[in-house]
Structure formats: C-alpha cells, structure tokens
Structure 1
Amino acid sequence: MFSPPWWAKSPHIQTILPSLMKVLRPLLKRERLELPDQDFIDLDWLSKPIDNQPIILMFHGVEGSADSHYIKRLLSKCKSINQCALVHHYRGCSGEINRLPRAYHSGDTQDVQISLEHIKAHFPHNPIYAVGYSLGGNILTKYLGEHKDNSLIERAVVIAAPLQLAACAKKLEKGFSKIYQSYFIKRLQKKIIDKMKIMALDKHIPITQHQIKNLTTLHRFDHQVTAPLHGFDGVDDYYRQASGLPFLAHIAKPTLVIHAKDDPFMTEDVIPSSSQLSPHVSYELHNQGGHLGFIEGGSPWNPKYYLERRILEYLLPFSSATQRDRTSASPIRCSTPIPQ
C-alpha cells in the first residue's frame, strides 16, 4: 500500500514536485493518423511489439503530451524492461495546432476508438493495455464503459480521474487549488487564441480574444468554449455527458482505478460507492498522494514513485521484470473505506 515519506505528506508537494523533476524521455517515433473528418492525431511509439507482447497505450491529462512528467516516467520504465508502449495525443496536443475548430474534451472517446482500431489492424495478435491519467483517465473510463465486452482494451489502469467533472471544476475555484486552475486556464486560453489567429471560430464560439482572456475559471471556459466547440448544450450538459463515474458500473475488462483522497483537483464526489463499481473494477483509494504524485520514498532531490511500479504490476503481473518489485508491493486494498 502506498505511504508517502515524511517530507512529502503535503498534497501540494506530491502534486508539484514531480513536475519540477528532470526526467529524460526515451526516443520516440511519431506516427500521424489522418482522421475521417480531415483532422489528425499523433501517436508516439517507444517501440513496436514483438510476438504476442502486450502494447501499453498511454492517455495524458489536460494539455499534456509525451513530455508530461508522468508519461516520461512510465515510458522510461517500459524502455528499461523492453516493453512496447506508445502515447495517444489528443487533437492539438502533439506540438501542432489541429486543423479543425474542435479540439478535445473530457469525454472524447471517438478518437480513442480510431487509435485502437489502427493499432489492432496492424498488430492483431497483441493485446492492448491502457493507462489513463487525470482527464485521460476519465476518457478511458468512459470508453471502457461504453464498449463493455467489445472494448479493444484488455486491461486498464485509471489514475486520478476527475470522474465527476462538475464537482472537480468547483473544487478548482477554492483555496490553493486556484493555482492549478490558473495554470490550466492560461494554457487553454493561449491555445484557443492561437487557433483564432489562423482560422475562423466565430460560428462555433461567438466570443472575442479579449473575452477569452476574461474566462478565469474552468467552468466558464468550458461553458463558453469547450461545450459549444464540441456540440454540447452548455457546461452542465457537457459535464453530465462526459463524466466517467456512471460508466464504471458497465466496465467488462479488468481495470484498476487509483485515487488519492487528498487530491487538490477533486472532491469526495469522485469516489465511487461499491454499488457503482463493476465486478471487473478494482478500486484503490489512498489517503495521500496528491494529483498524479504518489511519491513513496527517496529524497526531495531524487524522489521515488509508486505509480509506475503499481501500473506495471497490474498490467504485467506475470512479467519477470515486475516480479522483482512484487516483494515490496501490497495487494489491492483501500486506505479508507469505499462508501456503500
């Protein structure tokens, strides 16, 4: 079971420190997928699979990429054990503005299915395992619940997913969490303003660049930008349709969900009751860990992490590489009780 060192008990240290650490990213090979609507998404491959080796597919968080600290750490671990892996970038997240007014959102599973079908067409005998972080975890949860037995993903790990989007948006408007909201808002504002400079968006979002700069909360940004760009009837409709929590009960493939109770992005509304969990879902709720942190040891200058070890232990339980770590790992159980 995860337990933080004394110097990393604060949720904000857990959340911020990993993003400040230098992590070398392994060399990746980019593959561009042309989409049916004339847009594109990019896949970054660590390596292609051999024989019947599983493929680990990673979904990043809001405004993330293959350069996100949590992605780079898992890629590095996969490289060390010669494990095939790749990163699915959402539209506009691979370093190049996408071609259409729309971008991506928390419930966007259509592009996920396109990536999966592409991978399966080229590697039909290799099982696909998936890891979703934060927004990517919500998307992955929704995909698994939507497709049930027909999911092209055989095993999955969902980490720090904002499964109840409305509650998480409100949490980010309070206290120290405002700092995180400000960080994301500035990046989202810049991206949409950059897009407005090269294409007409007025038919999709009747709002000026100046007005976009005044959208200082995720709730307001989602209401005036995300929802209309992606066909939702306002922010409430978007949050209702895109939240992953209702889809947990329908998942039919083995899935591990990891949450930290002190995650500064979330509230207890993201914690599912036992009745909301499919029999195929294992739920790990920790008292501490922050948002995508889970520092379990080392020092402030060289932290050691729980997530990569736990992810690979779950996805590759019979791998000799993960067996070496199993002596220090605990079976799945919750630090705090799951509501009934």
Structure 2
Amino acid sequence: MSSLVRWVFGLDQVPRLYFGPTVATVALRKSTRPDDTEKLSLREVVERRCPSLHDVFRPAWWLPTGHLQTLYCVIGDFSRVDEVEYERKLLRTVDGGTIGLDFTPNGSQPHIKQNTPVVVVLHGLTGGSHESYVRAILSPACAPPEQGGLGYRAVVVNFRGCAGVPLTTAQLYSAGHTDDIRTALLYIASMYPNAPLLGIGFSLGANVLTRYLAQEGDKSRLSAACILGCPWDLLANSRRLGSTWWGRELYSKGMGSNLKALLRRHVATFEAHPEAEVSKNVPEVLQQSSIRLYQFDDTITRVAGGSSPPFPFPTADDYYIWASSHHALRDVRVPFLALNADDDPIVTVLPVYEEPEKLSPWIVFGVTKGGGHLGWFEEGSRPSQPRRWYRKPVLEWLKAMGEDVVLPERHPKSLREKDGWIMEEGRDDIGCRVDSEGGKVIGVEGEGLLSGL
C-alpha cells in the first residue's frame, strides 16, 4: 500500500503509551550476578526491553479497519498455525464447581527448571485454550530456546462450562467473579512454588485478571501481568455497543448466540438443579430465536455469574457497574501491561481517555492505531496468513518480567492442606482438589458464530 494511502487512513502510527502520575521503579538485571542490577523506572524498562511498543503497527492492507480486523478473528482459518498440545486437569472447587486447567508443554522438558516462569492465561467470553489468540502467544512462549522460544511453562484456566469443561453446579462465570482464578492459582502455586507466575488475560479474561490483581494488591500470586482487549467500563461499553446497528445486530447478537450455545450444552445441569433461580430462566433464553449480549446478561449472568453474595444483581446494569475494572487500575501492585486498539468496535470507552491520572505506578497502558478486538493482524510472509502484531510486545514483556526484572516483593497468604483440599490461610470458602486428569487437549478452533472473541 502506498505511503499516501497509509497516511490517509492513519495506519502508520506508534502505539500511544500512558503512565500514571508516578511511575514505579524496579531493579533490572545487568548480568547473571544477583547483585548486578540497576534501578530503572518502568517506563525505561519498556523502552529498553519492549522495543515493539515503540515501533509502528501496520495493519494488513486488506484489514484496514477495526470491523475487518475483528471479523477476521471469526472467519480466519487458524487451524494450521500455532498448534499447542495441552495436558488437562479438572479442579473441583469448594462449592462443587469445576475449573479446567490446560498445561503446556507436555512430558519431560530438560530445559525447564523449577524456577522457570509459568504463564497463566484467562481466555475471552466463551473461549478456551483452543483459541487462536491464546495459541499465538503460547506457541512461541513455550517453545524451547533452541527453537527461538522463551522455554516457559503455561497454564490456561478454562472457565466453568467452557472448552469442554463440565458444568457441575448451576453457577457460571462472569467478567467480575475472581474466586475461580484465585482458586486456580492456589493449585498452580502449589505445583510450581519456586516459579514466578505471569498472568495474561484476553477480553473478558482481562477484566477478571485486572480485578483479581487490584483486589489482592501486594498479596497477588501473580508477579506481573499483561492484558489485551479489556472491556473496562462494562456499562459504558455496553451502551455504546447497543447504540449502533453493527453493535446490536452483529457483535451483541453474535456474543449472545455463543452464550446461548454454551447454555444449551449444559442444559442437563440446570435441569438437575431446579431450585436454582437461574434454572428457571434458562428455558426463556433457549426458546428465543436470537438473543443479544445485554439480554443474556440481564437474564442469566446477573443471576448466576458468581457466588452469592453479591449475586444475584437486580439488573444487568447493576452487574456491569459492580464487575467493571476501570476503577481498579489504581490498586494494581505488580508490573502490568494493558493493550487496546482505538478502533475496537466492542470496546470503545477506555479509562485512559477519561481518567489517566488514576493509573497506578505499575501500569503501562498502550493504545494502538487500529487492530480491532483481539485482532492486530499485520501482513505475514503469505498474504493468506497474516500474523498478530501483539505477539512481539507480549513476548518481550514476558521475557523482561520473567528474566530481566527483579520483580517486586509480594506477600501472598500461605497455602494449607485440609482433608485433601488445597486452601488458603484464613479462608475456608476458597480451595480445590484435583477431580480428574482430563488427558491431552490439542488446540483447535472452537464453535459459535463469533469464536475468537
């Protein structure tokens, strides 16, 4: 594409980076000697270790808009790229629910040591470990160093009922409920007590991850995090989505359709719990020929999107206000990279547009010119197979946080074992045990109209 056309569309622009009024200082390793470090601001660390955040993002010439970038997430064929094999474990939670943990790489890996970083991933709305946006990071992150990878471990936390995980209670998941990731981290931390845990969240999973980090502060079990396409202010973005034809008829209906399909796959569970309020609402949703995201949240998520209290909420608006994460950015206490695109058709209201002064010292907030929702496709080696731009800055961030930066000291609560359950000191309502080994899982595309979101 000519430089003139790129200028007209405004496509050749460096991501805009936002920091809080004060920026945290960290120690950066200069050599392998433990005491050989230098003090740098997080801004300086990003300049030195994440050069991709200071380079232009050039969308593929045939995907110049946010709509096209987002739609390609849905219609693109990613089945032959970034294949990842997982080993699944199903965790039973104290309330009887089930969480699916997918571990990679499988088998004996000589290059992996006890202190090798572990990437902990939270997927999007109805996704899972199979999603192409997840595999785009984990394939290179978990490849051996001699193959050009980071050589890390990874665990994808699949929400209740997603990606083949059974739904064993009438409770689902939501953008605001954090106890399931909190529970999963108990098990992951018990498996890898000497390894730093690095979080990655996509879309809805990004919102959950942000809220978890803000709630835990310096007690977080995650040492650093990176999130992409977070929906932030759920109420404001829901209203924006409903204000346009594309938002109502394509994105909202598509996401509602995915959620309805998830509900249908687990209808037997709701029939087995007729006393649950949500079970009474399920037939109403399944009888509708189509349903928008807001309608689903107002009928199902506000009732069963988490434990009681605070669920159920009076309306979806009340749930959105409670579950939003934009107000949580001031409370994050670990290095935290957030990436959004300025033409994301699903997330149009960003906190850095409204209240940039409320970013904590640990936040690096990047906004790209273009990229859509979880797209960021740039031209690859072949026109038919574009590559995701965000792979570069995310891998640079993971390497910096996993190897180069002396991560801030945290004080997570001690783990304890009680009658075969792994629990946290001071809480009897949070705990897990291995329910079963789920066998091998190979990352392939999911199902639904808007898979990939």
Taking structure 1 as the reference length, the TM-score comes to 0.88
1:10-159 aligned at under 5 Å gives the runs: 10-19=65-74, 20-22=76-78, 23-47=81-105, 49-80=112-143, 81=149, 82-159=151-228
Distance in 1 (CA, whole Å) between partners of 2:348 and 2:393 is 23
Distance in 2 (CA, whole Å) between partners of 1:183 and 1:16 is 11
Q: Taking structure 1 as reference, are residues 165 and 140 closer, same or farther at Cα in structure 2, changes over 3 Å only? A: same
Name the stretch that deviates more: 261-270 or 87-96. 261-270
Match for residue 318 of structure 2? 237
Q: CA deviation at 1:106?
A: 0.3
- Paired letter, 1:184: M
Residue 277 of structure 1, aligned match among 352, 359, 364: 359
Residue 185 of structure 1, aligned match among 256, 261, 277: 256
Could you say which structure has the higher strand fraction? 2
Q: Taking structure 1 as reference, are residues 119 and 130 closer, same or farther at Cα in structure 2, changes over 3 Å only? A: same
Which consecutive unaligned segments of at least 5 residues does structure 1 have?
A: 321-340
Distance in 2 (CA, whole Å) between partners of 1:101 and 1:223 is 16
Distance in 2 (CA, whole Å) between partners of 1:119 and 1:211 is 36
2:377 maps to 1:295: yes
Distance in 1 (CA, whole Å) between partners of 2:186 and 2:196 is 12
Q: Taking structure 1 as reference, are residues 147 and 10 closer, same or farther at Cα in structure 2, changes over 3 Å only? A: same
Residue 304 of structure 1, aligned match among 376, 379, 387: 387
Distance in 1 (CA, whole Å) between partners of 2:393 and 2:274 is 43
- Paired letter, 2:323: A
2:267 maps to 1:196: yes
Distance in 2 (CA, whole Å) between partners of 1:196 and 1:304 is 38
Distance in 1 (CA, whole Å) between partners of 2:329 and 2:135 is 27
Does the residue aligned with 1:117 lie in a helix, a strand or coil? Answer: helix
2:346 maps to 1:265: yes
User: 1:25, 1:75 within 8 Å by CA — same for their partners in 2?
Assistant: no
- Paired letter, 2:158: H
Match for residue 60 of structure 2? 5
Name the stretch that deviates more: 147-156 or 293-302. 293-302
User: 1:52, 1:126 within 8 Å by CA — same for their partners in 2?
Assistant: yes
Runs of 4+ aligned structure 1 residues displaced above 6 Å come to none
Which consecutive unaligned segments of at least 5 residues does structure 2 have?
A: 1-54, 107-111, 144-148, 404-453
Does the residue aligned with 1:92 lie in a helix, a strand or coil? Answer: coil
User: 1:154, 1:254 within 8 Å by CA — same for their partners in 2?
Assistant: yes
Q: CA deviation at 1:76?
A: 1.3
2:302 maps to 1:227: yes
Alignment RMSD:
2.0
User: For the pair shown, which has the larger CA radius of gyration, 1 or 2?
Assistant: 2
Distance in 2 (CA, whole Å) between partners of 1:34 and 1:105 is 18
User: 1:145, 1:250 within 8 Å by CA — same for their partners in 2?
Assistant: yes
- Paired letter, 2:246: F
Name the stretch that deviates more: 176-185 or 281-290. 176-185
User: 1:162, 1:270 within 8 Å by CA — same for their partners in 2?
Assistant: no
Overall identity of the aligned pairs, in %:
27
- Paired letter, 2:175: S
Q: CA deviation at 1:168?
A: 2.1
2:256 maps to 1:176: no
Taking structure 2 as the reference length, the TM-score comes to 0.67
Match for residue 325 of structure 1? none
Residues 27-55 of structure 1: per-residue CA shift (max 9 Å, x gap): 11111111111221111011375231110
Does the residue aligned with 2:142 lie in a helix, a strand or coil? Answer: helix
- Paired letter, 1:312: L
Name the stretch that deviates more: 27-36 or 1-10. 1-10
- Relative contact order (C-alpha < 8 Å, sep 6+): which is higher? 2
Q: CA deviation at 1:246?
A: 0.8
Does the residue aligned with 2:119 lie in a helix, a strand or coil? Answer: strand
Does the residue aligned with 1:7 lie in a helix, a strand or coil? Answer: coil
User: 2:82, 2:132 within 8 Å by CA — same for their partners in 1?
Assistant: no
- Paired letter, 1:296: E
User: 2:211, 2:325 within 8 Å by CA — same for their partners in 1?
Assistant: yes
Does the residue aligned with 1:236 lie in a helix, a strand or coil? Answer: helix
User: 1:295, 1:305 within 8 Å by CA — same for their partners in 2?
Assistant: yes
Q: Taking structure 1 as reference, are residues 219 and 18 closer, same or farther at Cα in structure 2, changes over 3 Å only? A: closer
Q: CA deviation at 1:85?
A: 1.0
Q: Taking structure 1 as reference, are residues 318 and 142 closer, same or farther at Cα in structure 2, changes over 3 Å only? A: closer
